Chains A and B, each alone.
Chain A
Amino acid sequence: MKKDDSIKFLQGNEACALGGITAGARFFAGYPISPASEIAELSSLLLPQRGGIYLQMEDEIASIAAVIGASLGGMKAFTSTSGPGLSLMQENIGFAIMAEAPCVIINVQRFGPSTGVATRPGQADVMAARWGTHGDHGIIVLAPTSVQECYDLTIEAFNLAEALRTPVILLTDATLAHLREKVVTKTDKELSIISRQKPHQVTGDYQPYRPGPNGVPVLPDFGDQNILRITGLVHDHDGYSTPKPQTAGDLVHRLLQKIEGATGLMPTPRYFGSNDPEIVIISFGISARSSREAVNRANDQGVKARLMQLPTIWPFPEEAVRNACSDAKAVLVAEMNSGQICREVRACGIQREKVVGVNRADTAVITPGEILQAIKEVMIL
């Protein structure tokens, strides 16, 4: 029988590294941290074989900085880390947003805050990923639920980063990182791989930051004939700094709009279970895995429950959440934190008393049994 190389048995971390390289990443810079290490390890092995670069930097600040530098030099670039490293990267994530440097940051969530428990999972970096860097900004955050999705969503993360010239964060966790599952891989030829647009013509008065299609500027790389001027300061279309209120307002508005206006490109919620639900469970990442099993069991017991799994966490899919929840008697939000997504669900305008958090924040994965129990409790009410 012919061996099918496309089907692999991988860890989540390995799937992220392979996904990134399949998406065209040729640069990785990182700093060792549990539980993300295997992403760096596999990248260090595979990238040089493909003409790519692996750098181990002195800390996470330098890692994201080198990633941004390589990206502006024209390479698709990524890094991986966990909570403490994500905290250190925050200033430069904001810089990448402002400078419009496409890159992917894979944050393998562990239990926190601070050093927490380095080898155990958590899902408490949802708000850190959204609001960790200062100033008004938009950010794209994706969350895989399986090892297959670690692979698929890393590719999606690169596509979104390149299409919109912005950093994209992938939130996995310690469980997914080391879970081994079957993964169907594809070659870049079989996938729709997006790469950033570059200017077609060389002109002396090229304006790097003139908004292009959908508000995304068409920037050259460093070393191109067209001159690139990058700064984290508020800048005009030429890339020169200016404190003018009009320029500052227009720039920040465009950067926000570029993300908010592109939600059509982002992975949409996935639904499992009853089509006519009384109970809707909203979840993401590894918690959605347990939720799916809970929904199956509830359906088997005659309870009309449905799972809404969010592969895109930010921008938060408000409209889809409102639609999914409008006819439900109760909405459960299952997550391994103290209610970060639950707060967003409520902010969508869903009746406060209808929304119930199912939380576990103690280093253990939330179980299907716990979620099923929560379903039964709201059914009695």
Chain B
Amino acid sequence: MSIDYSLYLAKERLPHLWCPGCGHGIILKNMLISMAEMEVPREKALLACGIGCSGRAGDYVNIHRFQGTHGRTLAYVTGIKMAHPELKTFCIMGDGDCSAIGIGHLIHAARRNVDVTAIVPNNLNYGMTGGQFPPLTPGESLTSTSRSGKAEPDMDLCRLAAEAGANYVARTTVYHVVEMKKRFIEATSNKGFSLVEVITPCPTYYGRYNQLGNAHEMIEWIKNKTVPLHKYEEMSVKNQEQHFWRGKLVEKHKPDLYTRYWQHERGMDHRA
């Protein structure tokens, strides 16, 4: 049965600006479907976006939308959620936005356990600016600023968020659409900081530089590069470097920032 998510979608804004074969539309659609399944009231939903390709997701929704400066999304929503703890808040931040310029705010939002669902579409490069390498680009990759292969190693954003204190962390891909929706619902249902990284194709830049073929072939490439977390953990380090893991890394239920703040200040709470 198909879920009607049209309540949340600004249909009149379509077609979107994303390139043919881009996975951002698939991720946005799954986010909206998960909202529909959870029956989130339209006016109690907020999409906070970063800057870059995925940041434009906010232009296609009919719910409260916030788009701030590059990298700072989680700092803004920390303020928003203290003013409005009941808002179901989704943050869509690209891999560059979240893992480079915004990495400090990710660590501290996870540590504070701000009650948001952070979705990181990881297309392995900065798409909007022409395909440069952010921290999550795998080592040796060809990009517009690493023509002879990326010298720097990449990093595991999920493990960092988990270590920093996130309540929920998972990784999936646009190939695994059913799993993606399930992860979004799990993440949003778990109060506190949740992060779901979604590996997604950028056939325009990353795929073209690294000769990964057309959009369809690139999704196949992602599928073949991805293994379940338990299998990944059994691999040799050398083999791990050639693969992405997918699955659920952390699922905890620590109280979120707002709850802790008022538990702590309760003695002084003069509100009704």
Contacts and interface: CB of A to CB of B under 8 A. Distances in A.
Real binding pair: yes
Interface stretch (B56-64, B199-207, B237-245): B56-64
A287 B83 CA distance: 39
Q: Which of B42, B83, B84, B107 has the most CB of A within 10 A?
A: B83
Interface stretch (A61-69, A253-261, A321-329): A61-69
A65 B72 CA distance: 7
Interface stretch (A47-55, A123-131, A182-190, A308-316): A47-55
A48 B83 CA distance: 13
Contacts of A71: 79
A66 B78 contact: yes
A351 to B, nearest CB: 43
Contact of A95 (B69, B87, B268): B69
Given A74-B84, A223-B84, A91 B67 contact: no
B229 interface: no
B255 to A, nearest CB: 16
A209 to B, nearest CB: 12
Contacts, number: 139
Interface string B69-81: 1001001111111
B42 A65 contact: no
Contacts of B82: 27, 53, 55, 66, 70, 73
Contacts of B268: 48-49
B225 interface: no
A164 interface: no
Given A58-B108, A74-B84, A69 B75 contact: yes
A194 to B, nearest CB: 19
Given A58-B108, A222-B84, A229 B65 contact: yes
Contact of B76 (A69, A221, A229): A69
A222 B67 contact: no
B163 interface: no
B83 A69 contact: yes
Nearest to B258: A53
B270 A233 contact: no
Contacts of A72: 66, 80, 83
A228 B82 CA distance: 18
Contacts of B75: 57-58, 61-63, 65-66, 69
Contact of B78 (A55, A75, A221, A240): A55
Given A53-B261, A58-B108, A223-B86, A69 B79 contact: yes
A223 B69 contact: no
A75 B82 CA distance: 10
Contact of B69 (A227, A228, A232): A232
Contacts of A241: 56, 59, 67
A231 B58 contact: yes
Contacts of A99: 68
A122 interface: no
A70 B107 CA distance: 20
A223 B42 contact: no
A248 B80 CA distance: 27
A227 B58 CA distance: 12
Given A69-B78, A95-B68, A223 B87 contact: yes
Contact of B105 (A53, A58, A73, A77): A58
Contact-residue size bin, chain B (C-beta under 8 Å from the other chain)? 35 or more
Contacts of A48: 265, 268-269
User: What is the interface of chain B mostly: helix, strand, loop, or mixed?
Assistant: helix
B66 to A, nearest CB: 5
A65 B65 contact: no
Contacts of B62: 227
A231 B49 CA distance: 9
A51 B76 contact: no
Contacts of A230: 65-68
A154 interface: no
Given A51-B271, A59-B104, A61-B75, A74 B68 contact: no
B156 interface: no
B59 A222 contact: no
Contacts of A75: 83
A53 B59 CA distance: 31
A214 interface: no
A291 interface: no
A92 B42 contact: no
A57 B43 contact: no
A273 interface: no
Nearest to A91: B69
B271 A62 contact: no
B64 A223 contact: yes
Pairs of residues from A and B, 4 with the lowest C-beta to C-beta distance, nearest first: A73-B83, A69-B79, A66-B79, A65-B75
Interface of A: 27, 29, 48-51, 53, 55, 57-59, 61-63, 65-75, 77, 91-92, 95, 99, 221-233, 239-241
Given A58-B75, A70-B80, 7 more contacts: A29-B79, A49-B270, A55-B78, A55-B82, A62-B104, A65-B105, A227-B42
Interface of B: 10, 13, 42-44, 46, 56, 58-59, 62-69, 72, 75-84, 86-87, 104-105, 107-108, 261, 265, 268-271
10 contacts: A51-B270, A51-B271, A62-B105, A95-B68, A221-B83, A223-B43, A225-B43, A227-B63, A228-B64, A232-B68
